[in-house]
Amino acid sequence: MSETTLLDNGIKIITEQVPHLLSASLGVWVGRGSRDEEGKKSGISHFIEHMLFKGTKKRSALDIAREIDSVGGVLNAFTSKEHTCFYTKVLSSDIELGIELLADIYLNSLFHEKELNKERMVILQEINMVEDTPDDLIHDLFTKNLWQGHPLGNPILGTAPDISSVTRDALVSCYEEFYLKSPVLITVAGNVRHKDIVNMINGVLGGVEYKGSERNLSEPLPYFGVHVEEKELEQVHLCLGLPSLSRSHSQRYVMHLLNTILGGGMSSRLFQEIREKRGLAYSVFSYLNSFIDTGALTIYAGTGNDSYGDVFKVAIDELIRFKDEIVEDSELHRAKEQLKGNLLLGLESSDSKMVKLAKDDMYHKRHVSPEEIIEKIEAVSAEDIKMLADDIIRLERLTVVLLGKADALVIDKVLPLKQ
């Protein structure tokens, strides 16, 4: 059971006590991410995340690393499209140290010019690594083409020109806007007591003059069509997708089941048809990208230079199948069991529970219990999936991205047959 406290300065604290765990995980969540970089250089949120670990008024970067290592803990961060989180996982007895470390880097990071320039090089290498990894790059290219001209389509890491030219003043200005004027949420899960956590956090952050401001998000409009990114590769990497549902949409459980049946595992339709029956790909799957106000259902496959047309046709056939046929009871039952198992297995650690507390609050404004999720999954019928498919799966709204030695005409020859 979760408990919530709102500090006088507006910081929200949500905890879940799990007595049988030895660990505790704490995350500081800032309600800003790469989609909030409109008018700013792309990747600046991620750059700030890196700089928070590069020294404070009282600790060097090495001091920070040594303190968390000395208790066998984890101190890290990540940036997403819609939020930034920096977090720690430690033994429950060391949670006060974890809180103090996170508060220090949150409030007192120095953004030294020397450290900034070194970290700039690290991020540029990170960008280069993605560029050299086509099965990662294809997903950035897909979102770039789906949400053209909108920050939601920008890579979280940013682009090399933007990262190369960002200044310390720009970083500090964005930090102050995103971190000190944005909603801040702190979630904690593990063998801890809510009252103790609130007292510890209030002791280090309660005196901060918090100036939370409402988010102003622009509407992302999808763009459709076939896009080819030519590159000398041994394979063609293919992403195709359709606009889907937002993170909190009432039909989200139906959407999750459709995705699971389509390409959510080794027994999925795509895996069986493309890999097992035809041997056309090693890696093939589908996934959902869901945000506050929109989403996308995406299919990925890496295949041969002479077989991407065949893979694309099978993917289209499997999408259309949801509109033409009712899912059989046995297939729907397997998908439900898979989703429920994934949920429960994913909540066995303190860090996964900590993340769920945050996402429940950010996207649903309340705690959503595993029991409620299971009940909603069980309530989905085959007819629900058919109705959603009729609404979502419209090939005139398809975005297709090919990476490698590919020709858009191969795709165009398939699509008219299914319009």
pLDDT cut 70: percent of the chain above it: 99
| Any domain includes 356 | yes
* Strands (DSSP E) found in 93-235: 184-190, 225-230
Range with the lowest mean pLDDT among 122-136, 203-217, 245-259? 203-217
| CA–CA dist 398, 254 (Å, integer) | 20
Strands 236-243 and 295-303: antiparallel
| CA–CA dist 312, 136 (Å, integer) | 19
Domain extent, residue 192, equals 2-205
Range with the lowest mean pLDDT among 71-75, 85-89, 90-94, 211-215? 211-215
pTM, rounded to two decimals: 0.94
**Per-residue confidence at 419, pLDDT binned at 50, 70, 90?**
very low
The answer to whether 49 is a known catalytic residue is: yes
Q: Which of 205, 235, 264 is the last residue of a domain?
A: 205
> Counting beta carbons within 10 angstroms of the beta carbon of residue 311, is it exposed (0 to 12), middle (13 to 18) or buried (19 or more)?
buried
pLDDT in tens, 238-295: 999 999 999 999 999 999 999 999 999 999 999 999 999 999 999 999 999 999 999 9
Selected catalytic residue, list 49, 115, 119, 273: 49
Q: Which of 170, 205, 240 is the last residue of a domain?
A: 205
Q: What is the mean pLDDT of residues 82-90?
A: 97
Tokens of 180: 């000190």
| Any domain includes 212 | no
Is the distance from CB of 283 to CB of 270 less than 8 angstroms? Answer: no
146 and 236 share one domain: no
Sheet holding 225-230, edge to edge: 225-230, 399-404, 236-243, 295-303, 281-290
Q: What is the mean pLDDT of residues 111-137?
A: 97
pLDDT of residue 17 exceeding 90, the answer is yes
Q: Which has the closest alpha carbon to 270: 307, 304, 306, 314?
A: 314
Angle (nearest 5°) at CA 218 between 217 and 222: 130
199 and 55 share one domain: yes
167 and 236 share one domain: no
Mean pLDDT of the chain: 95
170 and 275 share one domain: no
**Per-residue confidence at 416, pLDDT binned at 50, 70, 90?**
low
- Give the pLDDT score at 214: 74
- Give the pLDDT score at 180: 86
pLDDT of residue 6 exceeding 80, the answer is yes
| Any domain includes 219 | no
pLDDT of residue 418 exceeding 90, the answer is no
263 and 321 share one domain: yes
| Number of domains observed in the structure of the chain | 2
Tokens of 257: 């089941």
**Per-residue confidence at 219, pLDDT binned at 50, 70, 90?**
confident
Is the distance from CB of 81 to CB of 34 less than 8 angstroms? Answer: yes
102 and 184 share one domain: yes
Q: What is the mean pLDDT of residues 170-184?
A: 89
Q: What is the mean pLDDT of residues 374-387?
A: 98
Cα atoms in the Cβ-side hemisphere of radius 13 Å centred on 221: 1
| Any domain includes 282 | yes
- Which of residues 393 and 207 earns the better pLDDT score? 393
184 and 239 share one domain: no
| Any domain includes 338 | yes
- Give the pLDDT score at 142: 98
233 and 349 share one domain: yes
| Any domain includes 210 | no
48 and 136 share one domain: yes
293 and 322 share one domain: yes
| CA–CA dist 266, 168 (Å, integer) | 47
| CA–CA dist 157, 115 (Å, integer) | 18
Is the distance from CB of 328 to CB of 269 less than 8 angstroms? Answer: no
Q: What is the mean pLDDT of residues 85-101?
A: 97
190 and 283 share one domain: no
| CA–CA dist 122, 81 (Å, integer) | 20
| Any domain includes 214 | no
Residue 55 maps to which CATH number? 3.30.830.10
16 and 123 share one domain: yes
pLDDT of residue 113 exceeding 50, the answer is yes
Tell me the H-state helices in 181-307: 194-205, 252-263, 269-270
| CA–CA dist 207, 219 (Å, integer) | 36
Q: Which has the closest alpha carbon to 218: 305, 319, 149?
A: 149
| Any domain includes 12 | yes
